[in-house]
Amino acid sequence: MISIYGLEISSPTTSTFTVRFSNGNAISNPVKNWLDTSPRTFTASLAGRADGPIGIIWSAKDKQGHVGTTQMNLSLDNTPPLISVPAPPAGAWQSSAPSVLFNVSGTIADPNLFRAVGAVLKPGSSNACGNSDNTPWPQGTGPGQVSGNSWDYTNTVLTTGAFNLNATAYNALSAGASQTTLRYCLGITAEDKAMAGDGTPKHNTSVRYFTVDQTWMPPVTTFALTTTTTYRHLGSTSEVCVTINTTPAQTDRAFQLGISGPGVIGPVTIAGTLTSGATVVRVPISQFGTYSGAVFVGSQSATFSVNVTSAPGTCT
């Protein structure tokens, strides 16, 4: 709907006054006795009219038949900006990595663009993207945070027509925790400069949300596992000393050691917890000979072997 208000006619002898579109379609019927009804508002429906220029022509004729006209040129804009994303991000993903990268890239088209922004939002109790309970996702580099949660793409879109949302999400879990799924809402908003008939902003707005359900798995800690094996004699018995080396130190990680040889005293499988980056496991033996086995820490393993003779060992 378009409204035209407060027009003035300078001639006191005006006979008729009409308002029409420049294509000839009338906005109102001819008005008589304009001075008796001034000021007046004219309205017309814009339904079905395509976006673009609109000319409004006023025409007044006095009693002598003289006609005066004037024209106002407006632009009709009822279409919101077009947001195009050729390759939307996957809606569900899982990872045990320290972080993952979210990306939404595309274009925004509108000849009267006012603003274009991006955001990473966290849904509230509704667990739905785009609801009023969405809040900016906590920003930072700590567990469960994101590297950024808001961007202004206006200048970039005005220059190139394109935008590129990149946000790094950090694993919310620590080692040994249970997996969890978090919902991330990646939002792109664009609005134009449209105004109402009285000049107040009446922007057409487009919003697109991309929902990512990220399942976080406990992070897998990368470390090096090696062994050093020696022995020592203790009077009537001896012992094999297996040093379990982890770099960086995997303190409090569980280990399992298996050993075989001619004189192992006690169990051939030993389980325990690492106390440092170099934890020594002592296995009593009663005979000379070759002792060998393997150590397991997490998904990694390392073998060991030592030949025990009558010579003094180096284990302390």
In a domain, 314, yes or no: no
Question: Which residue, 20, 52, 76, sits at the end of a domain?
Answer: 76
Same domain, 60 and 30: yes
pLDDT of 184 reads: 98
Same domain, 111 and 201: yes
pLDDT of 34 reads: 44
pLDDT of 232 reads: 95
Give the domain CATH number at 262: 2.60.40.10
pLDDT of 60 reads: 72
Same domain, 99 and 191: yes
Whether the Cβ atoms of residue 66 and residue 53 lie closer than 8 Å to each other: no
Question: Which residue, 216, 249, 266, sits at the end of a domain?
Answer: 216
Domains contained in the chain, number: 3
Same domain, 145 and 210: yes
Q: How high is the mean pLDDT in each 10-residue block of the chain (316 residues)?
A: 46 50 52 48 69 75 76 81 95 91 96 96 96 97 96 97 96 90 98 85 95 92 91 92 94 93 92 95 95 91 94 90
Q: Note down the domain range covering 246.
A: 224-308
pLDDT of 66 reads: 79
In a domain, 151, yes or no: yes
With b for 16 or more beta-carbon neighbours within 10 A and e for fewer, the 138-150 pattern comes to eeeeeebbbbbbe
pLDDT of 220 reads: 75
In a domain, 207, yes or no: yes
pLDDT of 226 reads: 96
Same domain, 212 and 89: yes
In a domain, 313, yes or no: no
Q: What is the pTM of this model?
A: 0.62
Integer Cα distance of 296 and 302 in angstroms = 7
Same domain, 290 and 254: yes
Same domain, 53 and 113: no
pLDDT of 198 reads: 74
Same domain, 69 and 89: no
Question: Which residue, 76, 94, 125, sits at the end of a domain?
Answer: 76
In a domain, 144, yes or no: yes
Same domain, 202 and 238: no
In a domain, 316, yes or no: no
pLDDT of 53 reads: 81
Q: Which of 27, 111, 39, 33 is nearest to 72 (CA)?
A: 27
Same domain, 202 and 252: no
Same domain, 21 and 67: yes
Q: Say how far residue 160 (Cα) sits from the centre of its chain.
A: 22
Integer Cα distance of 165 and 117 in angstroms = 9
Give the domain CATH number at 162: 2.60.40
Same domain, 212 and 87: yes
Whether the Cβ atoms of residue 258 and residue 240 lie closer than 8 Å to each other: no
